[in-house]
Amino acid sequence: YGQALRYLGTTTSTQDEVRRWADDPEQPAPHGAVVVAERQTAGRGRRGRSWETTGGTLVFSVLLRGGRGGQPLTLPELALLPLAAGVAVQRAAGVGGLKWPNDLLTPDGRKLAGILLEADLRGEEARRAVLGIGINVGAAPDGAAHLHEFWPTLTRAHLLGDLLRELQRWLTASPDEILGGWRAASLTLGRSVRLQTPGGPLDGVATDLDAHGSLLVTTPQGLRTVSAGDVQLIGD
Ligand code: BTN
């Protein structure tokens, strides 16, 4: 990844830039193309949230044209990719752990990095997906954390290099490797979590992942399988 790389000053969102480049009739972006930006004016987060880019944040997006072997990405693959990307980010950052599905948090629960996967679904598969990663390196929004608290001399360029190597490894890993890597990087398993359900909040203990990467939570009302949305970590 990153063999083709564009480095921009200000853009709306690197997610949009990767798509524009992928659609360029003259020189379409290849698989693994990367767009890095200094600033985003309309950075997106998961679930319709926005992502604030202060100076000091590493923000980039990677184009995925299909999965292992260049075949279109299937729904099971698309479910595991965000977890695989989370493992890559945790490994490259060398600190903190993952809140399901893929937020990188400090041990005391402040957010260091976020990941957004946008797939162009056609029926049950996607020929194209854009993976976006934002990491607080030298500064962070209020209440969040940044990597300089742990690694004061880390540069964004160095981190990007490590990340692209880890992404190469984890995005092409087998489902079992991804699940194992995620369990090892988890800050969620064994913890008390709060789920938002249509009937209101429900507390339980996160026990494991299933084969699809969904989170299994033991609650007073029985075992729940969480495949989308957020969980809140509670207590310790
Ligand atoms: C989240 O935590 O909700 C995900 C945040 C993802 C932010 C990254 S920054 C690079 C890429 N461009 C965007 O607009 N969003 C992602």
Task: Give the class (CATH, top level) of 5-185.
Answer: alpha beta
- Whether 13 lines ligand 1, by a CB cut-off of 6 Å, is yes
Residue nearest (by alpha carbon) to ligand 1 atom 7:
134
Residue nearest (by alpha carbon) to ligand 1 atom 14:
43
CA-CA distances (angstroms) from residue 52 to 148, 159, 193?
18, 19, 26
pTM of the predicted model as reported, rounded to 2 decimal places: 0.96
Check whether 235 has a pLDDT greater than 80. no
- Whether 57 lines ligand 1, by a CB cut-off of 6 Å, is no
- Whether 114 lines ligand 1, by a CB cut-off of 6 Å, is yes
Nearest-10 Cα torsion for 229, 90, 2, 145: 80
Q: Which CATH architecture has domain 192-234?
A: Roll (2.30)
**Ligand 1 centroid from CA 222, angstroms:** 34
Q: What is the pLDDT of residue 70?
A: 76
**Ligand 1 centroid from CA 50, angstroms:** 8
> Omega into 101 within 30° of 0, i.e. cis?
yes
User: Which of 89, 102, 97 shows the shortest CA–CA distance to 47?
Assistant: 102
Domain segments of the chain: what residues? 5-185, 192-234
Q: What is the pLDDT of residue 50?
A: 92
In tens, the pLDDT along 144-159 reads 999 999 999 999 999 9
**Ligand 1 centroid from CA 177, angstroms:** 25
In tens, the pLDDT along 91-117 reads 999 999 999 999 999 999 999 999 999
Check whether 190 has a pLDDT greater than 90. yes
**Ligand 1 centroid from CA 225, angstroms:** 25
Give this complex's ipTM: 0.99
Check whether 68 has a pLDDT greater than 90. no
What is the DSSP code string of 38-107? EEESS-B-GGG-B----TTEEEEEEEE-SSGGGPPEEHHHHHHHHHHHHHHHHHHHTS-EEETTTEEE-T
Residue nearest (by alpha carbon) to ligand 1 atom 15:
44
Check whether 53 has a pLDDT greater than 90. no
pLDDT band at 38 (very low <50, low <70, confident <90, very high): very high
- Whether 15 lines ligand 1, by a CB cut-off of 6 Å, is yes
Cα 227 to Cα 80: distance, rounded to the nearest angstrom: 11
Q: What is the largest CA-CA distance in the chain?
A: 58
Most confidently modeled range among 120-124, 162-166, 232-236: 162-166
The domains spanning 5-185 and 192-234 adopt the same CATH topology: no
**Ligand 1 centroid from CA 15, angstroms:** 8
